[in-house]
């Protein structure tokens, strides 16, 4: 231990005094509202295909399907897919090819907690049902309830998936079921 024989305090004594007399400052960082509701789903693109023209004999013709795998890593809460918006590099064509998601009649798709669910999102395209090759960006919103507007867990960030569809040939693409999004 250091002893001070003189009247002046040592530098160590001054430093200790300053440390104890300095006001304590609490630093609080606010976490986003979605942080408390668990992790976001993980979406993997598998393939794209088409439900050709009128050969399906259903109310939905000229539609395209993105086959996806959606993993819900949350071990506590189920999640629900609320909306899916797809933009492509085909919108600049004449006539433009624009895809619109046809949600299930329930309004959302349930992905059970701690599971992976293969799904097929159907997008209508009234212009044609030609075989296409395109790049896409899929933006998916999700919540913990259905209807999605009833979620009390706060806002969740959308999940964005980018991919490339090599061909939308009809192979392994069954006709869509009217009014529903297929769970593959």
Residue 109, preceding peptide bond in cis (omega within 30° of 0): no
Residue 45: predicted pLDDT: 92
- Contact assessment for residue 152 and residue 143, using Cβ atoms and an 8 Å cutoff: no
Residue 131: predicted pLDDT: 80
Residue 114: predicted pLDDT: 96
> Beta strands 109-111 and 134-143: pairing type?
unpaired
Residue 182: predicted pLDDT: 45
Residue with tokens 């069954």: 174
Give the N- to C-terminal CA distance of the chain in Å, as an integer: 75
Question: Where is 109: in which H helix or E strand?
Answer: strand 109-111
3-state SS class at 18 = helix
Q: List the Cα angle 87/74/28 in 5-degree steps.
A: 95
Residue 100: predicted pLDDT: 80
- Contact assessment for residue 78 and residue 113, using Cβ atoms and an 8 Å cutoff: yes
- Contact assessment for residue 56 and residue 175, using Cβ atoms and an 8 Å cutoff: yes
Query: Can you say whether the dihedral through the CA atoms of 99, 48, 167, 51 is positive or negative?
Result: negative
What pairs with residue 134 in β-bridges? 165
Residue 49: predicted pLDDT: 80
Q: Which segments in the chain show pLDDT lower than 50? A: 18-34, 178-184
Closest CA to 157 of 3, 24, 10, 37: 37
Residue 70: predicted pLDDT: 94
């Amino acid at each position: 231990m250091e002893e001070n024989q003189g009247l002046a305090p040592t530098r160590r004594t001054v430093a200790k005094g300053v440390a104890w007399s300095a006001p304590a400052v609490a630093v609080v960082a606010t976490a986003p509202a979605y942080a408390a509701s668990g992790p976001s789903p993980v979406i993997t693109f598998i393939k794209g295909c088409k439900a050709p023209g009128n050969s399906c004999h259903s109310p939905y013709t000229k539609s395209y399907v993105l086959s996806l795998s959606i993993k819900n890593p949350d071990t506590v809460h189920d999640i629900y897919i609320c909306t899916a918006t797809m933009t492509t590099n085909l919108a600049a064509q004449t006539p433009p090819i624009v895809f619109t998601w046809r949600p299930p009649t329930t309004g959302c798709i349930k992905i059970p907690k701690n599971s992976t669910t293969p799904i097929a999102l159907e997008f209508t395209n009234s212009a044609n049902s030609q075989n296409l090759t395109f790049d896409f960006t899929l933006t998916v919103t999700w919540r913990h309830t259905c209807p999605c507007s009833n979620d009390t867990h706060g806002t969740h960030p959308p999940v964005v998936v980018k991919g490339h569809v090599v061909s939308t040939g009809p192979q392994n693409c069954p006709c869509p079921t009217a009014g529903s999004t297929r769970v593959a």
